[in-house]
Structure 1
Amino acid sequence: MSGISAARVWQKCGYSVTIYEASDQIGGQWNMTYPGVRLQNTAPQYQFSDFPWPFTPDRHPTGEQVLKYMHAAVAAYGIEVKLNHKVTQMVKQDIGWQLTFENGMQGDFAYVMIATGQYPGGDKKHKPRFENIDSYRGEVVTNINSKEVFKDKHVAVVGFGKTALDFAAWSGAVAQSTQHIFRTPRWTIPDHLLGIDYTRPFFSRFGSDMMPSWCHSSLIQNLLHKKLTFVVKSFWGFIATLFQYQHRKDAKLGTLDPSVLDLVFPPKSQFVPDLRSASAVAPNHYYEYVAHQRIIPYRGEVASFFEHGLILSDGQKIEADMVCICCGNEAPTYGFLPETYAQYLRVHGGPSLYRHQIDPRIPDLGFAGYNHGFMHIALCEMGTLWQIAAHQKDLQLPSETEMLASAQRVSQWKIAHSSYESTFNIAVSTRYQQHLDILLQDLGISQWRKLPNVPAEIFARYDPTDYKGVVEEYLAKSAKRKAKGQVKHVMPVDA
């Protein structure tokens, strides 16, 4: 999805653009993920700004529906896509890059964008090397090919991210037993909150302005987070209480003591830090199955395996026929880049990029989707337009030293204020609105996409269609600046 978003923006700006895909079909992670997976986001918040869904998808589209939409978009846009073209080497030239592909072909390009995604699919998952794992007689998996693999088995699921929660919920429906092991529970998002679509509070400026961030894109945000912090704290405390209420309601407790869910509820102090890229919408029935003991939760750490299951750090043994290890993703390694450049990107948390777009030490190279967040496609489109402006020298960037320092400040803020995730550097997560605003400010485009309707600007949900026409606005303003011999300077803030 990131690659298509980026290609469309380059195309609209008058460039000849080609997508090179390593596999035999488009779709990236959507071709490699587990069956039954659904988009965490809702369909209106996950579409190209100028190409609405040409069919009616589910509220949370299935993987198959997302792939169908991507194929339709590529056809409608007329983007050239070359399949079975895995990049094996990139060589820097005086202008641009020479790419070599696994099939032996080569090509020269003025600019390259890496759009390989934040989440490796298939078996490219982080799999810790647990002690005595070779002695285990059961099956260890990081991915599945059907929900039926859990049927009538004794299953242990390790982790508390989206994949772990999906696997635990699916297993809870059909397995003989399901044990869910995690070190720390995370806050999950109810699909509906008191009957209200969760995207309404999270995708309006009223909600996003309340989000603590490494950057603030308006006077109101600065006021809230510097002078009125008690308002922000009270707001998120109230939302956390609503989340707990909704999860308990969804658990169908009846006469059960609410404390049956205590093991899977984190403290309220952890609420805002958990609103990160890996934030998961609660799967259907997860809390219900925990409450009614179809899923047995354990707070603990896996110390080792034995022939029939797992041993936790407190010595407790958990027997299982199948162990699902859901411990996140490995950061990309960029083996196709010259080592001189690849070493800059192989850092803790993934590449630390200026504006989440570029490493200033690597010329003519950018990244699509490394500003991953709640409105991913709009983030990709606006990030690509920012890169085009920089590539065309229409945008005056700071010095290399300052850009690296800015990227480092953002990285350190995330470490200090967000719950850990392995690829924290390549996401803006719930700070999507602040990030989008500053990208537009850099480009000289109004961030207020719903004005002059003030109530809508504050309380209505933003979605990618609000950014339809931004490319055309930029091109018109850029032409005027060039006619006057002017360039636009980036805003003196981190983003």
Structure 2
Amino acid sequence: MTKRKTVAVIGGGVSGLAAAKAFDERGHRVLGFERSHDFGGVWELSRSYPDVQTQSPKDLYRFTDLPMPEDYPEWPKGPQVHAYLHAYARKHKLGRLFRLNTNVLSMDRRTDDKPGWTLTLEAAGRTWSEDFDFVAVCTGQFSDKNIISHPGQEAFEAAGGQVLHSSDYTDSSLAQGKHVVVLGGSKSATDLVVNASRNGAKSVTLVYREPVWRVPYFVGGINFKRLLYMRAQEQQFNGWGRSGVAKAVSAAFKPLIWANFRGLETLLKLQLKLKKWDMVPDIPIEKDASCSLPIVTPGLFEGFEAGSIRPVRGTFDHYETGKVVLSTGEAIPCDLAVLAVGWKLGIPYLAKEYRDRLIEPDGQYRVYRLSVNPDLPDMGFVGFNSSFCTVLSAEMIANWLVRYADGQLAHQPTDAEMRANIDQMLHWRRKERPAAQVYGGLCSAPFHFRHFDELLADMGATRRKRTNPLAEQFSYPNADAYGTFLGSTPQYAAG
């Protein structure tokens, strides 16, 4: 019989909820820790900027056993996602498992000669330690702000200017009557310039380093989920561990694959008028597709056309009173600078000796199945497998991780197998697909199906694909179907 464990779940966002549910339903004693006052992670309302919405359609951004409400739009807004996550927590009674307003200060191996980890915790001015048999780290990739500064910032702020991280732009009135300059080219950056332009900003400038491929919600009038999120499209990218036969087939179809992607690029250039805005990327889209591929914010290119948003290539060099000076030497009027420069990837509370075993000198993570490291026993990550269908990815890896922790995988990997696979994946990212190095290599996109296939095979699922081969090959991942696939895995309970 599987021994019941005491399991810590760090983080109360999408990944933390998925992990808490997975370990709890297997009979383990789960204690979750969330540093804020509420569930939701990046969707927690005090962390969300105005008008934030999902990049993925609602039927791709959901758990297998809880569809989003029918009256939600195709791309739900932040408060709707937040409400959905609360509905999931209520359905599975997850609130009883979590301690809110509780911060994890450190994580180190236990000193009582038992397997597991000791967490040092802080809440309400009190600090204490607790031992756990297993720890699921679910703080994902958007936990700690990436804070940057530029020369002249203090004087700029002393004269009345404001500098904010994008997550601190939580009130649209901040832009009213001001010259707003947003640094960054991500979805959050474009969301913010559109919001500022619609809420009374005197001027709005988007400053970005290099153009990247952006995908609108509708490509040529077709919902992009029906074009990009399918197994047939995924198989055209250069995946890992391809056999000689697979490489030969790819070579045979190379002209068709090339034509497919050039056609997509041409459509995007025409629809978005990328050449007009000097925003045509240098890298072919099939080599660049990853988790960093942003969706076009509705109203962005319309704002360019109307003159309410001005795109400028470059970056910040320094601030002067009432302006920001770019690396190109151009000075742009600025009262409010918003830095959409992302988040710091890392696990700061994990002792350095263990972080060094996890992270390579070039920032790439040594993880098997994007979840575990053989040098860090009794712990794993949920939410490191970033993708275009984040919620489903978190649920899939959470179900895999609990079975890994319990030794209940149909194929329980050996130490040697994990190390060989980790090295293979590092080589693939560095030499064969550099775009896969984004976020420290912690991204399964655009290989969702391949990633899920591996997890289901490890778990011993007797069903892994839909019965309709056309739907399986030419449709996007179906959460209901994956619920069925998970239900076909061997069931057990700890006790």
Q: State the match for 1:97 in structure 2.
A: 117
Contact 1:100 1:106 survives alignment (8 Å): yes
Secondary structure in structure 2 of the residue aligned to 1:356: coil
Contact 1:352 1:426 survives alignment (8 Å): no
Give the unaligned 5+ runs of structure 1. Answer: 249-257, 480-495
The counterpart of 2:81, out of the listed 66, 74, 87, is 66
Amino acid at match of 1:455: L
Task: Please state if 1:460 is matched with 2:478.
Answer: no
Q: State the match for 2:165 in structure 1.
A: 142
Offset of residue 47 of structure 1: 0.9
List aligned pairs for 1:47-86, cutoff 5 A.
47-54=62-69, 56-79=71-94, 80-86=97-103
Superposition TM-score, scaled by structure 1 size: 0.85
The counterpart of 1:177, out of the listed 188, 200, 203, is 203
The counterpart of 2:276, out of the listed 255, 260, 264, is 260
The counterpart of 2:450, out of the listed 434, 444, 459, is 434
Q: State the match for 2:7 in structure 1.
A: none
Quickly say closer, same or farther: Cα 1:245–1:4, change in 2 above 3 A: same
CA distance in 1, matches of 2:142, 2:340: 12
Q: State the match for 2:352 in structure 1.
A: 339
Task: Please state if 1:233 is matched with 2:231.
Answer: no
CA distance in 1, matches of 2:89, 2:423: 38
CA distance in 1, matches of 2:71, 2:20: 25
Give the unaligned 5+ runs of structure 2. Answer: 1-13
Which piece of structure 1 moves more, 239-248 or 38-47?
A: 239-248
Query: Number of residues paired by the alignment?
Result: 459
List aligned pairs for 1:355-394, cutoff 5 A.
355-393=369-407, 394=409
Task: Please state if 1:402 is matched with 2:420.
Answer: yes
Quickly say closer, same or farther: Cα 1:375–1:447, change in 2 above 3 A: farther
Q: State the match for 2:237 in structure 1.
A: 211
List aligned pairs for 1:95-174, cutoff 5 A.
95-103=115-123, 104-120=127-143, 124-136=144-156, 137=159, 138-143=161-166, 144-173=169-198, 174=200
Offset of residue 159 of structure 1: 1.2
CA distance in 2, matches of 1:331, 1:40: 20
Secondary structure in structure 2 of the residue aligned to 1:475: coil
CA distance in 2, matches of 1:469, 1:17: 25
Secondary structure in structure 2 of the residue aligned to 1:260: coil
Q: State the match for 1:487 in structure 2.
A: none
Offset of residue 112 of structure 1: 0.9
Output the aligned Cα RMSD.
Answer: 2.6
Offset of residue 227 of structure 1: 3.7
Task: Please state if 1:282 is matched with 2:296.
Answer: yes
Contact 2:463 2:485 survives alignment (8 Å): no
Quickly say closer, same or farther: Cα 1:413–1:13, change in 2 above 3 A: farther
Which piece of structure 1 moves more, 91-100 or 30-39?
A: 91-100
CA distance in 1, matches of 2:214, 2:172: 22
Secondary structure in structure 1 of the residue aligned to 2:88: helix
Offset of residue 60 of structure 1: 1.1
Cα deviations by residue, 1:382-427 (Å, 9 ceiling, x for unpaired): 222332333233413341642442342244258x531874x24222
CA distance in 1, matches of 2:62, 2:264: 27
Q: State the match for 1:484 in structure 2.
A: none
Quickly say closer, same or farther: Cα 1:356–1:242, change in 2 above 3 A: same
Which piece of structure 1 moves more, 384-393 or 64-73?
A: 384-393
Contact 2:194 2:303 survives alignment (8 Å): yes
Secondary structure in structure 2 of the residue aligned to 1:206: helix
Secondary structure in structure 1 of the residue aligned to 2:29: coil
Amino acid at match of 1:408: L
Task: Please state if 1:195 is matched with 2:221.
Answer: yes
Quickly say closer, same or farther: Cα 1:446–1:240, change in 2 above 3 A: farther
Secondary structure in structure 2 of the residue aligned to 1:128: coil
Identity of aligned residues (%): 24
Which piece of structure 1 moves more, 29-38 or 81-90?
A: 81-90
